Structure 1
Amino acid sequence: MKKNRMFAAAIAMAIATASHAGGVHGSSHGATAGEQGKLSDVSKTIQIDMYDNYYEPENIDVKKGETIRFVINNKGMLVHEFNIGTPEMHEGHQEEMLMMIQHGIIQGGKLNRDLMEMDMGNGQTMKHDDPNSALLAPGETAEMIWKFSDDGNIEYACNVPGHYPAGMYGAFKF
């Protein structure tokens, strides 16, 4: 099954690269999915392991108003993202992530952080430093503190082209 996911991701990435125009990275991807939390308000810590192309755990139970510390590990062989948002937010962000591939920032299993500082011509960069998102190369770990101030249709996803359609997303269950 994991081989099928890898194959599906490769096909989806090829299709996405051939058929989409990129957007600009740097918008607020978590505007309706909650807000950055404070360490002093954390009620629990959840470990997220990212593989090629799935998460463990696949779903997470949360409560409205709860603040969670996520410890995110990329255990895969590809660059992956942990991004908290609505399905609509993820759809828009996938176009921005495509631009990161087109500019050589994401190269399969490598992440060129120097290129993330590049000015895209409008004063915006591709730093990928939003509080609801972590972009990690294989073997990297990050922490995120998130407050679930909303309880709508919120999920976590990898928006690297091809990964979301291959099934790399999970639901927050309220």
Structure 2
Amino acid sequence: MSSYNILGAVLGATLSLTLLASDPALAAGSHGGGHGMEIGKPGDPAKVSRTIEIIMNDNFYEPESLDIKEGETIRFIVRNAGEFVHEFNIATAAMHEAHRPEMMMMVEHGVLEPDRINHEAAKAMQASMGHGMHDEANSVLLEPGKSGEVIWTFPEHAELEFACNVPGHYETGMHGKVKLSH
């Protein structure tokens, strides 16, 4: 079975489970909504205290968890070392759950292919639905072999994780905890 057939099976199963298990309010959530101080804010590059390299493999991250000080501004250099498109997204577990149906919609409209981002399909989706590619400061979506950067200032007292919300990826282990300390 080819990797495309396997991915198709995973995507189909994920869609079925998502539709069965999703709370309608979460399924209707907007990626652009809710990115308030509860998860932090875009960081000022002049205030970066350190840089952390994140490597995205096909079903896990390196490192698998992060130790961050409350209020710290981190530069993440994110590299996709896998064979598929992956996302590095900093949010709460509930926000990730609410975002996954939007990522599934991107697959359904041909924006996210297993190993590439179809920018023409993203433009068509944007024109027809008002939603195509997302561009949020807490997230980067990368094709295989590509790198990106996220600069983020972390809040106090939050339960955060980083995750890949491409359909099926979170469920196969592409998420990790952010441990905030004083």
Measured after TM superposition, the shift of residue 128 of structure 1 is 1.5
1:163 is aligned, of 162, 166, 169, to 169
How far apart are residue 30 of structure 1 and its match?
3.1
**Which residue does 1:5 correspond to in 2?**
none
Aligned residue in 1 for 2:160: 154
The Cα shift of 1:113 comes to 2.0
Aligned to 1:3: none
Q: In 2, distance between residues paired with 1:9 and 1:59?
A: 26
When normalised by structure 2's length, the TM-score is: 0.83
Give the Cα–Cα distance (whole angstroms) in 1 for the partners of residues 9 and 109 of structure 2: 20
Among 76, 93, 97, which residue is 1:91 paired with? 97
1:101 and 1:165 map into 2 onto residues whose CA distance is 16
- SS of the residue aligned with 2:148? strand
**TM-score relative to the length of structure 1:** 0.86
Output the CA distance in 2 between the equivalents of 1:18 and 1:83. Answer: 23
Over 3 Å counting, the alpha-carbon distance change for 1:29 and 1:80 in structure 2 is farther
Deviations, residues 122-162 of structure 1 (Å, cap 9, x unaligned)? 5x322220111100010110011000023311000000010
Match status 1:37 vs 2:43: yes
Question: Amino acid of the residue matched to residue 36 of structure 1?
Answer: P
CA deviations 1:18-51 (Å, max 9, x no partner) are 4546757642363221110010010000000000
| Structure 2 residue aligned with 1:119 | 126
Give the number of the structure whose residues are more often helix, by fraction. 2
**Cα contact 1:69–1:143 (8 A) shared by 2:** yes
Amino acid in the other structure paired with 1:44 = R
In structure 2, give the amino acid aligned to 1:15: A
Count residues in correspondence.
Answer: 166
Identity %, equivalent residues:
41
Query: What SS class does the counterpart of residue 53 from structure 1 fall into?
Result: coil
Which structure ranks higher in relative contact order (CA pairs < 8 Å, sequence separation ≥ 6)? 1
User: 1:120 and 1:88 mapped to 2: Cα distance?
Assistant: 28
User: How far apart, in 1, do the equivalents of 2:146 and 2:34 lie?
Assistant: 22
Partner of 1:55: 61
- Alignment partner, residue 15 of structure 1: 13
Maintained 8 Å contact 1:62/1:172: yes
Measure, in 2, the Cα distance between the counterparts of 1:29 and 1:128.
14
Cα distance in 1 between the residues matched to 2:86 and 2:34: 16
The change in CA–CA distance for 1:171 and 1:105 in structure 2 (over 3 A counts) is: same
Q: Is the 8 A contact 1:111 1:137 kept in 2?
A: yes
